Structure 1
């Protein structure tokens, strides 16, 4: 029978650290204690629960079925508790604390690079941690205060603040590529071209290019032996003349205006909502997030 403890959360931080890092040594470094202390704490938790949580070998640490089940439920709950503690500590007027953001690479030059320097100068007590990733992200489960994504990727129960105009999708190529291979006139012409293809980071699926014709959606899976999961690489490789790329116009705006990239198939390309900042409604009371939103609106309005 599982034992009892006066502290129901005893060992939980150590368990989560080991589960997330896959290592007792890495977990110890995160928690600022010795690996032996982490091992003893986890062992005590396992004894209390009456079941092993990890499968330990000389090479790796894996979760048992019970450990995996505990991780699924405990990680978002722990994030909620940390958020509650942080919010309680930030109820003063002056913005402070760590602002954790998840943003797609597209948003880095458009939002992050112009906004963060102004935020840091205006609110030096606000530390900022930014994770650049294109995959969809569960904010509370991963400890983020807010995220930036294309509007259609934002969950409906989130507060959303528009950052950019709508996106018009573009198929672009370098002038050198088009001179050598010709300009496609219809989406079907893409079968005679080289595409720089995009693989979704989360699902691993290859993106099928979307077009519109006569009010209907048309998808094309163009051939191409170059595959990336990063939007900036799509533009970089297109600039290098390696093929056609399917990108957001706001991400390639500078290259298009300078004629380093040329858009093609424009009559057939769809429109999407632009970039939005999004966050849980309860997070909006945090001074650090309110400060970020205020600075962001001022900077982007002036841009």
Structure 2
């Protein structure tokens, strides 16, 4: 990271911005935090401006640093794309892949899948932003997004990467011993229910059910509310109440063992499949094709 090489300083600068501190940037770059600090200090000396506010908890851009980032990011991304395309011309996927995905996709992109991906494509790095709102991946300079089928930007190309996602209403045997299981959907209002709040919008998830004749969107009373789906499942296991679980496969072992019991089976409306979507362009990078191939191979593997 020589002072004479402005691109080296820019590369370190972008890594610090994206990771939020020197230590994580050093890990991404494969260097020491001291080397990152030195490179940023040299860049600030060359620009005669302070780029970051430094605290013990991390770093944030100064006003000058934000201006420098805004002015240089597009050119920097173009250089990375040129590098990636050169690597692809040699027939091997390479480069940095940036994805926006739903929070529930964390249970699709599991550790074994990542291990498979990186073993197959060792020259590709992957960065995932988990967020529930629909993102303009072109404006955000992302390679792709993962969303449900009913929430895709028009004009995008999309690849289905999961079947429909089956959900379930569940409770623990201990809870059902104290409160007999409901026999009809409207009886759910008389129970202690466990609710999920979408982190991005702040809205409570309404349970989408079917009573055999029509769809019902139920806003049940919530004894416990969380923005974390795992916390919802754990509360059900602990006997707090009845929970709606988005992906039934996540609790398959609980159902098999009797740790959880399904309530009103068959009433829970499945969610649409998940799709990976990307911009409709002539050249689809090999690194993105590589991820699509792996996700397709794992399409029938139940999320954990």
Distance in 2 (alpha carbons) for counterparts of 1:149 and 1:229 = 18
Residues 189-246 of structure 1 show CA distances to partners (whole Å, capped at 9, x for unaligned) of 4443333332333344443434467757634152223x43332333333233332222
Instruction: Give the TM-score normalised by structure 1.
Output: 0.69
3-state SS of paired residue (1:90): helix
Counterparts in 2 of 1:209 and 1:67: CA distance versus 1, 3 Å: farther
Distance in 1 (alpha carbons) for counterparts of 2:191 and 2:163 = 31
3-state SS of paired residue (2:198): coil
Distance in 2 (alpha carbons) for counterparts of 1:156 and 1:35 = 43
Q: Structure 2: which 5+ runs fail to align? A: none
Q: Structure 1: which 5+ runs fail to align? A: 1-6
Distance in 2 (alpha carbons) for counterparts of 1:271 and 1:287 = 33
Give 1:150's aligned residue.
Answer: 148
Instruction: Give the TM-score normalised by structure 2.
Output: 0.69
Give 1:178's aligned residue.
Answer: 176
Give 1:4's aligned residue.
Answer: none
Give 1:35's aligned residue.
Answer: 37
Give 2:286's aligned residue.
Answer: 287
Counterparts in 2 of 1:97 and 1:283: CA distance versus 1, 3 Å: farther
Q: 1:234 aligns with which of 232, 235, 238?
A: 232
| Residue 131 of structure 1, CA deviation | 4.2
Counterparts in 2 of 1:199 and 1:96: CA distance versus 1, 3 Å: same
Residues 35-58 of structure 1 show CA distances to partners (whole Å, capped at 9, x for unaligned) of 2441341354355xxxx6555678
In angstroms, what is the RMSD of aligned CA positions?
4.4
8 Å Cα contact 1:46-1:53 kept in structure 2? no
3-state SS of paired residue (2:223): coil
Q: 2:91 aligns with which of 90, 93, 97?
A: 93
8 Å Cα contact 1:256-1:263 kept in structure 2? no
8 Å Cα contact 2:166-2:247 kept in structure 1? yes
8 Å Cα contact 2:208-2:215 kept in structure 1? no
Distance in 2 (alpha carbons) for counterparts of 1:29 and 1:267 = 47
Give 1:162's aligned residue.
Answer: 160
Residues 14-62 of structure 1 show CA distances to partners (whole Å, capped at 9, x for unaligned) of 5444544555676577664352441341354355xxxx65556788754
8 Å Cα contact 2:210-2:216 kept in structure 1? yes
Counterparts in 2 of 1:165 and 1:302: CA distance versus 1, 3 Å: closer
| Residue 179 of structure 1, CA deviation | 2.7
Counterparts in 2 of 1:18 and 1:43: CA distance versus 1, 3 Å: farther
3-state SS of paired residue (1:196): strand
Distance in 2 (alpha carbons) for counterparts of 1:207 and 1:80 = 40
Give 1:3's aligned residue.
Answer: none
Counterparts in 2 of 1:159 and 1:233: CA distance versus 1, 3 Å: farther
Listed as ranges, the matches of 1:1-303 within 5 Å are 12-13=10-11, 15-23=13-21, 32=31, 33-45=35-47, 54=52, 61-65=59-63, 67-68=65-66, 71=69, 75=73, 78-79=76-77, 81-97=79-95, 106-107=104-105, 112=110, 115-116=113-114, 118-119=116-117, 123=120, 125-127=122-124, 129=126, 131=128, 133=130, 135-136=132-133, 145-211=143-209, 218-225=217-224, 227-252=225-250, 254-255=252-253, 258=256, 260-265=259-264, 269-282=268-281, 285-300=284-299
Distance in 1 (alpha carbons) for counterparts of 2:218 and 2:112 = 35
Counterparts in 2 of 1:36 and 1:173: CA distance versus 1, 3 Å: same
| Residue 264 of structure 1, CA deviation | 3.2
Distance in 1 (alpha carbons) for counterparts of 2:127 and 2:179 = 40
Counterparts in 2 of 1:295 and 1:66: CA distance versus 1, 3 Å: closer
8 Å Cα contact 2:22-2:36 kept in structure 1? no
